[in-house]
């Protein structure tokens, strides 16, 4: 009998969806570049699509205009769980979502600081690590949904200058949350050269020697089909089944009955890569319900159960 606790397995090659991060200076054509992808669900955070209705309709795409991160999260959840005809998600730009989250929590913390008589904190907006923890948590919730989507994803961001010693410009980077470039497999900077949109490849996560994209290339839908693979990019989207209200209620009842500690529930959420029980899939929640039911059956033999070993 093999009693080893080692769980690593040999990796199996998979065809990952194209998920890319695109940034560039104003006027580079980031919005129009993204709109080259047909059958797209476009989340427009700064009304940049208003002048491109003919292009969008020709591509059989649709637009949702909002800069509210809560509304956008609801749309991403719908794309994840409902059957639809869209193959590509476009968020243009994500810079506005990050700013929206900051503004949301700034107002909350300002009210809290004023209510406690801490006017200096409200004026300086120096809310500390708890504030940034809230901002990052909301932003990462959106990132997790993006990662789970069975769709191509194009996320754009504004560009900003980078300055070194003596306020000397040393380069450019994206204007969004620090680490956005780590989240995406592919990162491109867009430049407009003599009327052509040129993608500069800044990152592509792949095996050594298996790079798909050249160092620079003309941005076009046809080039992405060529470099990344037509089968993957044109693939239909699949949805997932989230836990039902009844399943969530059942699991909550079992948690209460078994007195399962919050630290254990946090482990479940972490393993499932979700923020709450309501985001669990049917398969995930059934696993935890079955686990709890097994614990219930063992109660008489165990002489009681305090939930400390439910991981």
- For 260-276, what is each residue's pLDDT tens digit? 889 889 999 888 888 88
Q: Within this chain, do residues 172 and 53 fall inside the same structural domain, yes or no? A: yes
Q: Within this chain, do residues 73 and 186 fall inside the same structural domain, yes or no? A: yes
- CATH code where residue 115 lies: 3.40.50
Q: Please indicate, yes or no, if residue 131 is contained in any of the structural domains.
A: yes
Alpha-carbon gap, residue 25 to 115, rounded angstroms: 41
Please tell me the predicted confidence (pLDDT) of residue 305: 52
High-pLDDT (> 90) share of the chain, %: 46
Please tell me the predicted confidence (pLDDT) of residue 273: 83
Arithmetic mean of pLDDT over the chain: 87
| Structural domains of the chain, count | 2
pTM: 0.82
SS3 258: helix
79, pLDDT greater than 90: yes
Please tell me the predicted confidence (pLDDT) of residue 259: 87
123, pLDDT greater than 60: no
Q: What is the pLDDT of residues 19-70, one digit of tens each?
A: 999 999 888 899 999 999 999 999 999 998 998 999 999 999 999 999 999 9
Q: Within this chain, do residues 169 and 259 fall inside the same structural domain, yes or no? A: no
Q: Please indicate, yes or no, if residue 136 is contained in any of the structural domains.
A: yes
Please tell me the predicted confidence (pLDDT) of residue 116: 72
Q: What is the pLDDT of residues 173-195, one digit of tens each?
A: 888 778 888 889 999 999 988 88
**Full domain range(s) for residue 249:** 245-302
76, pLDDT greater than 90: yes
Residue written as tokens 């427009």?
44
Q: Within this chain, do residues 135 and 222 fall inside the same structural domain, yes or no? A: yes
Domain C-terminal end among 233, 263, 283: 233
Please tell me the predicted confidence (pLDDT) of residue 225: 96
Mean of the pLDDT values across residues 103-110? 86
Q: Please indicate, yes or no, if residue 290 is contained in any of the structural domains.
A: yes
CB of 133 closer than 8 Å to CB of 141: no
SS3 173: strand
169, pLDDT greater than 90: no
Q: Within this chain, do residues 154 and 55 fall inside the same structural domain, yes or no? A: yes
Q: Please indicate, yes or no, if residue 198 is contained in any of the structural domains.
A: yes
Alpha-carbon gap, residue 271 to 241, rounded angstroms: 18
Q: Please indicate, yes or no, if residue 10 is contained in any of the structural domains.
A: no
Q: Please indicate, yes or no, if residue 190 is contained in any of the structural domains.
A: yes
Please tell me the predicted confidence (pLDDT) of residue 274: 84
Please tell me the predicted confidence (pLDDT) of residue 95: 86
Please report which confidence band the pLDDT of residue 127 belongs to, taking 50, 70 and 90 as the band edges.
Answer: low
Highest mean pLDDT among 123-137, 178-192, 220-234: 220-234
Alpha-carbon gap, residue 155 to 184, rounded angstroms: 9
- Torsion angle (degrees, nearest 10) of CA 268, 271, 273, 278: -20
Alpha-carbon gap, residue 98 to 181, rounded angstroms: 14
């Amino acid at each position: 009998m093999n009693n080893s606790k080692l769980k690593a397995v040999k990796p199996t090659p998979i065809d990952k969806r194209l998920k890319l991060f695109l940034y560039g200076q104003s006027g580079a054509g980031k919005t129009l570049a993204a709109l080259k992808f047909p059958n797209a669900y476009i989340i427009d955070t700064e009304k940049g699509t208003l002048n491109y209705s003919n292009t969008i309709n020709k591509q059989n795409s649709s637009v949702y205009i909002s800069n509210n991160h809560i509304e956008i999260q609801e749309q991403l959840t719908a794309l994840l769980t409902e059957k639809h005809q869209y193959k590509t998600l476009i968020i243009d730009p994500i810079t506005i979502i990050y700013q929206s989250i900051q503004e949301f929590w700034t107002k909350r913390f300002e009210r809290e600081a004023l209510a406690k008589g801490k006017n200096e904190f409200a004026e300086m907006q120096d809310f500390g690590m708890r504030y940034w923890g809230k901002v990052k948590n909301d932003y990462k919730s959106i990132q997790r949904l993006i990662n789970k989507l069975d769709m191509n994803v194009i996320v754009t961001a504004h560009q900003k200058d980078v300055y070194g010693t003596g306020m000397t410009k040393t380069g450019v980077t994206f204007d969004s949350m620090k680490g956005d470039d780590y989240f995406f497999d592919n990162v491109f900077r867009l430049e407009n050269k003599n009327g052509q949109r040129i993608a500069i490849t800044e990152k592509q996560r792949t095996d050594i020697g298996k790079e798909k994209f050249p160092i620079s290339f003309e941005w076009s839908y046809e080039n992405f089909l060529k470099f990344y693979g037509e089968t993957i990019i044109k693939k239909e989207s699949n949805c997932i089944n989230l836990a039902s209200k009844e399943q969530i209620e059942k699991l909550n009842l079992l948690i209460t009955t078994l007195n399962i500690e919050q630290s254990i529930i946090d482990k479940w959420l972490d393993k499932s890569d979700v923020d709450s029980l309501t985001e669990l899939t049917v398969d995930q929640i059934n696993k935890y319900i079955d686990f709890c039911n097994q614990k219930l059956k063992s109660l008489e033999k165990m002489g009681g159960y305090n939930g400390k070993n439910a991981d």
